[in-house]
Amino acid sequence: RSFIIIWAIFSGYVTAQTCLSGALETTPAANFINNADGTISDVSTGLMWMQCSLGQTWQAGQCIGDADALSWQQALQQAHGYTFANQDGWRLPNIKELSTITERQCVRPAINETLFPNTPSDDFWSSTPSMSDPQRAWVLAFFNSSNSIKQKSLFVFVRLVRTAD
Nearest Cα to Cα of residue 74 among 163, 137, 140, 24: 137
Q: Distance between CA 8 and CA 2 in Å, rounded?
A: 10
Task: List, for residues 119-157, the tens digit of each pLDDT value.
Answer: 999 999 999 999 999 999 999 999 998 999 999 999 999
**Residue 61: left if φ>0, alpha if ψ -120 to 50, beta else—which one?**
left
**What percent of the chain is modeled with pLDDT above 90?**
74
Q: Where are the beta strands (DSSP E) in the chain?
A: 18-19, 32-34, 39-42, 47-50, 57-59, 62-64, 106-107, 123-129, 136-141, 146-151, 161-163
Tens digit of each residue's pLDDT (9 = 90 or more) over 10-42: 444 446 888 777 778 888 889 999 999 999 999
